[in-house]
Structure 1
Amino acid sequence: MPRQASHHTPPSPPATNGYSYRELTPSATVDAAVLTAECALAISYNGINHAVMMVSPSDLHDFIRGFSLSAGIVDTIDAIYDIRISGTGESREAEVRLSSRAFWALKQQRRQLAGTSGCGLCGVEALEQALPPLPCLPDSLLPPAEHLDDLRQRIGDVQHQARSSGALHAALFIDAQGEIRLCREDIGRHNALDKLIGALQHESVAQAGGFAVVTSRCSLELLHKAVRAGITTLVSLSAPTALTVDWARRHRLNLIHLPHHSAPRVYSPAPPAREAFQP
Structure 2
Amino acid sequence: MPCLIARPAPADARAAVVPADGYDYAELTPLSEPGRAALADEVALAIAYNGLSQAVMMVSPSDLEDFVHGFSLGAGLIESIDDIYDVRLSPHGDAIAAEVQVSSRAFWVLKQQRRQLAGTTGCGLCGVEALDQALPELPVLPSTPLPPAAHLADLRERVNTAQQIARRSGAVHAALFVDSDGEIRLCREDIGRHNALDKLVGALKRQRLDVRAGFAVVTSRCSLELIHKAVRAGLSTLVSLSAPTALTVQWARAHNLNLIHLPHRSAPRVYSPAPQAVRESRP
Could you tell me the TM-score, scaled by structure 2's length?
A: 0.89
Q: Give the partner amino acid of 2:231.
A: V
Answer yes or no: is the 8 Å Cα contact 1:120–1:126 preserved in 2: no
Moved more, 197-206 or 117-126: 117-126
The corresponding residue for 2:101 is 97
Answering whether residue 202 of structure 2 is matched by residue 198 of structure 1, we say yes
Q: Does 1:181 align with 2:150?
A: no
**CA contact under 8 A between 1:248 and 1:268: conserved in structure 2?**
yes
Residue 23 (structure 1) shift: 1.1
Change (3 A) 1:118 1:89: closer
Retained in 2: the 8 A contact 1:17–1:32?
no
- Counterpart for residue 211 of structure 1: 215
Work out which of the two has the higher radius of gyration on C-alpha atoms and give 1 or 2.
1
Q: Which runs of 5+ in 1 are unaligned?
A: 1-14
1:272 alignment partner, SS class? helix
Alpha-carbon RMSD across the aligned residues, in angstroms, is 1.5
Mapped contact 2:116–2:130 kept (Cα < 8 A): no
Match of 2:72 in 1: 68
Residues 1:41 and 1:126: Cα distance change in structure 2 (over 3 Å): same
Alpha-carbon separation, structure 2, partners of 1:95 and 1:48: 9
Q: Which one-letter code corresponds to 1:256 in the other structure?
A: I
**Residues 198 and 17 (structure 1), Cα distance of their counterparts in 2 relative to 1, 3 Å cut:** closer
8 Å CA contact retained: 1:117, 1:123: no
CA contact (8 A) 1:218 1:241 kept: yes
Query: Are the counterparts in 1 of residues 47 and 53 from structure 2 also a CA contact under 8 Å?
Result: yes
Alignment match of 2:256 (pick from 248, 252, 255): 252
Q: Deviations over 1:219-262 (max 9, x none)?
A: 00000000000001000000001110011111111000000011
Q: 2:132 aligns with which of 117, 128, 134?
A: 128
How many residue pairs were aligned? 260
Match of residue 82, structure 1, among 80, 86, 93: 86
Q: CA deviation at 1:16?
A: 6.5
Deviation at 1:108, TM superposition (A): 1.1
3-state secondary structure, aligned to 2:167? helix
CA distance in 1, matches of 2:69, 2:88: 12
Matched, 1:228 2:232: yes
Is the contact made by 2:88 and 2:99 (CA closer than 8 Å) also made in structure 1? yes
Structure 2 CA distance, aligned partners of 1:231 and 1:16?
37
Alignment of 1:18-29 (within 5 A): 18-29=22-33
Shift of 1:112: 1.3
- For residues 133 and 109 of structure 1, the distance between their equivalents in structure 2, rounded to whole angstroms, comes to 14
User: CA 1:266–1:89 in structure 2 vs 1: closer, same or farther (change >3 Å)?
Assistant: farther
The 8 Å contact of residues 158 and 183 in structure 1, kept in 2 or not, is answered as yes
Letter in 2 for 1:52: V
Return the offset for 1:88.
6.2
Q: Which range moves more in the overlay, 249-258 or 114-123? A: 114-123
One-letter amino acid of the structure 1 residue matched with residue 177 of structure 2:
F
User: What residue in structure 2 maps to residue 30 of structure 1?
Assistant: 34
| Unaligned residue ranges in structure 2 (runs of 5+) | 1-18
Aligned partner (choices 90, 111, 122) of residue 118 of structure 1: 122
Distance 1:154 1:90 in 2: 34
Output the CA distance in 1 between the equivalents of 2:76 and 2:209. 21
